[in-house]
């Protein structure tokens, strides 16, 4: 039961930090740019009317419906099937980020993006706290799946080795 409180706290924290950061951006950064680390990181105000990285702009209602369905599906999976805390945290980050961006789409008609890593010539996208939460959450979920798969593989190898050792020991007893 404690894990449910943890999941709700993570979701709420992501939404809170995301929405506060966007309110501050709208109040103080609108149509401006602030260099935080010259040539590396800056805050740049962007109105994202599409999905991730601005793709499929101006399809607001499609994204709202997909967001509700996606958040519902991830929530159902989280509360019904997930048993490991790393996966729980990862999925909670994804849910919180999805809700944070959905709030923007309903309230503003677009998503406020402002985090701009300008150090990389190939990285041209501006994102927000919710986007970062979704990406980190997905990475944690995949990492937990990989760790679980590796653990299961080690267990099956150990069991197989134990069975082979047992069969070899039984075979010695029959010959003697």
Active site residues: 113, 131
Best CA proximity match to 74, nearest among 52, 53, 62, 89: 89
At 141, give phi and psi (nearest 5°): -65, -45
Best CA proximity match to 133, nearest among 99, 167, 165: 99
Rounded Cα–Cα distance for residues 21 and 34 (Å): 14
């Amino acid at each position: 039961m404690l894990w449910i409180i943890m999941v709700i706290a993570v979701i709420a924290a992501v939404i809170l930090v995301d929405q506060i950061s966007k309110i501050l951006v709208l109040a103080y950064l609108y149509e401006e740019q602030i260099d935080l680390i010259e040539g590396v990181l800056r805050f740049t105000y962007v109105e994202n009317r599409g999905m991730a990285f601005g793709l499929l702009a101006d399809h607001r209602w499609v994204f709202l419906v997909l967001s509700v369905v996606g958040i519902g599906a991830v929530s159902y999976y989280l509360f019904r099937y997930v048993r490991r805390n790393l996966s729980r945290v990862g999925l909670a980050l994804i849910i919180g980020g999805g809700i944070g961006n959905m709030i923007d789409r309903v309230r503003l008609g677009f998503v406020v993006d402002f985090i701009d890593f300008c150090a990389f010539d190939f990285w041209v996208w501006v994102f927000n706290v919710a986007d970062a939460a979704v990406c980190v959450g997905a990475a944690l979920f995949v990492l937990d799946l990989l760790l679980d798969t590796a653990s299961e593989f080690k267990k099956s190898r150990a069991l197989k080795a134990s069975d082979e050792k047992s069969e070899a020991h039984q075979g010695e007893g029959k010959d003697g």
